[in-house]
Structure 1
């Protein structure tokens, strides 16, 4: 179905909604639109990091990944110990 026909169908459905429900419809549509815009911005931010490690040697990258893994293990171990019932 083409986008113009779909838009018309949505508009016709909205016109049939009771006035007291329009605020809910507006909030839902607004949420969808804003969510899509924010998702696009987040995707662009994430993609800006693509290839940032290309100039790193394999050895340096392996060391970096090991360091990250170690930091995560320590961080999660600390959280697990803090939430333990003891």
Structure 2
């Protein structure tokens, strides 16, 4: 699956995200919904298994979201 990196911005009360070096994008009214939509977009592009995501605010109006395949090297990956 690889790593999907999204640049997120908040303008006029709505969060928008565009994939860095890619075509995926999404928008939502909250960061929670935006992150959920970005996970779904990544799964739609390559549904090879479980994923994990991170959402990091850079400023009150910008953030970076990453979605990547879950692996056993990560401490919170599911076992089994």
TM-score tier, shorter chain, comes to under 0.3
* TM-score normalised by length of structure 1: 0.21
The structure whose Rg is larger is 1
Query: Which has the larger share of helix?
Result: 1
* TM-score normalised by length of structure 2: 0.22
Query: Which has the larger share of strand?
Result: 2
